[in-house]
């Protein structure tokens, strides 16, 4: 459920559904859950699935204006997130972006990005274009630790969804970089004994002061000693933070290439490059997902597999971090051999990760598939470059054959996805890369 953005405390949700309490789960959210279940279990979209979607959309419009408590807001946000995942994966991109933007507007308007949640009037100071009267009221404090943790997870799920979609689709994010985020990084959702009906808040800020911008703190200080034990959601959030920062830095260079001569640009470039490499080396996954050990790392720095991160989630993170490396070095790959080498290495990391993917178990389609397509073209371009060298028979036998195998692996996965992909726009993109199969035979 983590991969689908489900942040609510499952035991509490289950208990609420079973007991049919007065503060039950809204019908819109129930239908959103049913919708995702149908999408994952059915081989193709059914008429009943479309009916559930239509009902969910109507019911969601009815409950949004009635947000009067943290619980109401969390239920609306969960519904929006599940709808976004569903709509994107069936190819309804415009609608998916609409619901992702709606969720982002809500978390910012109700200040879920602030560690002072519930402690001050929730006026959208960071969203000056919103002037709805409903946001001039104070949202009540979360009733207990579970609800506060859910609020933290709600913000970070919306954040990662918004930034990931923006980076992969090349559209502006709804959550601007200027937003100061002081809510803690998400941890693991703790299991609480629901027989204790008198659960009180025990940790308001979880060690993060209200004035601390934790994103800037991460960018300046990097991963702390606890970084490798991050929850899957925290790791994902940090990956998209790096990708967002890379996009901003590259945009500065694109606007004025002279910026690369400044000390500030060089410092930011080096810092981001180092942080990305460190994050890649610490992805909790199968050790075979790594290629050569970077000069700045030692084998002991690689973390063992973590049961909290299933393979699909790990590959998603690897793909986002590889995309960050590719975008950071792309402006310089024709001038600097090291930048070209890093771009190719990033694409190869994805190919090595895909060796462990069973396409039949993916069950849905994610925007990272577009990253895989781009990585295929990068590996293909490097193979072409090596073959064009005068001494290519010597060099190609050492390195090129490995690249050919990497490209064959990626194309095999993409071909299998294209055969079963229900999203026409994505299938069209996939078909542009498949002719490279013919190239491998030359």
Mean pLDDT of 393-401: 63
What pLDDT does residue 39 have? 81
> What is the pLDDT, as a whole number, of residue 331?
95
Q: How far is CA 291 from CA 351, 352, 371, in A?
A: 10, 8, 19
Residue 437 has pLDDT above 70, yes or no: yes
d(CA 233, CA 312): 13
68/398: higher pLDDT: 68
Answer whether residue 158 shows pLDDT above 80: yes
pLDDT in tens, 160-194: 999 988 887 888 899 998 899 999 998 865 544 44
Q: What is the rounded CA–CA span in Å between residue 29 and residue 31?
A: 5
Q: Which residues contact 101 (CB under 8 A, 6 or more apart)?
A: 162, 174
Q: What distance in Å separates the CA atoms of residue 432 and residue 150, rounded to the nearest whole number?
A: 42
In contact, 386 and 392? CB cutoff 8 Å:
yes
3-state class (DSSP) for residue 402: helix
Average pLDDT, the chain: 78
Q: What is the pLDDT of residue 41?
A: 77
Place of tokens 């002072």: 116
Residue 111: which region, alpha, beta or left (left: phi > 0; alpha: psi -120 to 50)?
Answer: left
Query: With left for phi above 0 and alpha for psi between -120 and 50, is residue 170 left, alpha or beta?
Result: left
pLDDT at 131 over 70: no
pLDDT tens profile 48-89: 989 999 999 999 988 887 777 888 899 999 999 999 988 887
Q: Are 67 and 89 in contact (CB under 8 A)?
A: no
Q: Within 10 A of 33 (CB to CB), how many other CB atoms are there? A: 21
What are the pLDDT digits (tens) for 102-111?
999 999 988 8
DSSP 212-227: --HHHHHHHH-S-TTG
Integer Cα distance of 312 and 12 in angstroms: 26
Taking a C-beta distance cutoff of 8 angstroms, is the pair 280, 321 a contact? yes
Query: What ranges do the domains of the chain cover?
Result: 1-186
Q: Is the pTM of this model over 0.85?
A: no
Section 390-417 average pLDDT: 76
């Amino acid at each position: 459920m983590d991969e689908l953005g489900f942040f609510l405390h499952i035991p509490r949700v289950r208990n609420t559904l079973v007991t049919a309490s007065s503060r039950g789960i809204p019908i819109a959210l129930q239908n959103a859950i049913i919708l995702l279940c149908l999408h994952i279990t059915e081989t193709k979209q059914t008429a009943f699935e479309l009916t559930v979607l239509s009902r969910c959309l109507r019911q969601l419009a009815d409950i949004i204006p009635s947000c009067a408590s943290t619980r109401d807001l969390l239920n609306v946000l969960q519904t929006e997130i599940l709808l976004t995942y569903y709509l994107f994966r069936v190819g309804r991109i415009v609608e998916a972006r609409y619901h992702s933007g709606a969720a982002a507007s809500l978390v910012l308007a109700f200040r879920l990005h602030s560690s002072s949640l519930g402690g001050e009037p929730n006026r959208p100071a960071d969203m000056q274009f919103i002037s709805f009267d409903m946001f001039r009221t104070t949202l009540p404090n979360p009733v207990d630790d579970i609800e506060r943790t859910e609020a933290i997870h709600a913000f970070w799920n919306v954040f990662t969804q918004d930034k990931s979609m923006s980076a992969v689709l090349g559209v502006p994010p709804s959550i601007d970089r200027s937003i100061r985020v002081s809510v803690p990084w998400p941890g693991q959702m703790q299991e609480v004994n629901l027989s204790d009906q008198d659960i009180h808040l025990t940790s308001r800020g979880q060690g993060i002061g209200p004035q601390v911008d934790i994103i800037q703190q991460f960018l300046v200080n990097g991963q702390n000693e606890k970084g490798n034990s991050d929850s899957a959601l925290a790791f994902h959030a940090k990956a998209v933070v790096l990708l967002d920062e890379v996009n901003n830095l590259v945009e500065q260079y694109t606007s004025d290439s002279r910026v690369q001569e400044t000390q500030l640009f060089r410092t930011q470039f080096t810092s981001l490059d180092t942080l990305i490499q460190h994050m890649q080396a610490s992805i909790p996954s199968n050790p075979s997902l790594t290629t050569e050990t970077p000069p700045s790392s030692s084998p002991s720095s690689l973390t063992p597999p973590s049961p909290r991160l299933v393979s699909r989630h790990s590959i998603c993170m690897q793909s986002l971090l590889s995309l960050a490396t590719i975008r950071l070095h792309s402006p310089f790959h024709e001038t600097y051999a090291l930048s070209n080498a890093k771009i190719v290495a990033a694409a190869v990391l994805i190919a090595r990760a895909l060796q462990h993917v069973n396409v039949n178990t993916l069950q849905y389609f994610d925007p990272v598939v577009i990253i895989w397509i781009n990585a295929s073209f990068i590996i293909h371009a490097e193979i072409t470059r090596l073959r064009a060298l005068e001494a290519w028979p010597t060099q190609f036998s050492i390195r090129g054959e490995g690249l050919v195998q990497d490209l064959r692996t990626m194309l095999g996965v993409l071909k299998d996805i294209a055969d079963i992909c229900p999203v026409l726009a994505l299938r069209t993109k996939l078909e542009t890369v498949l002719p490279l199969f013919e190239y491998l035979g030359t």
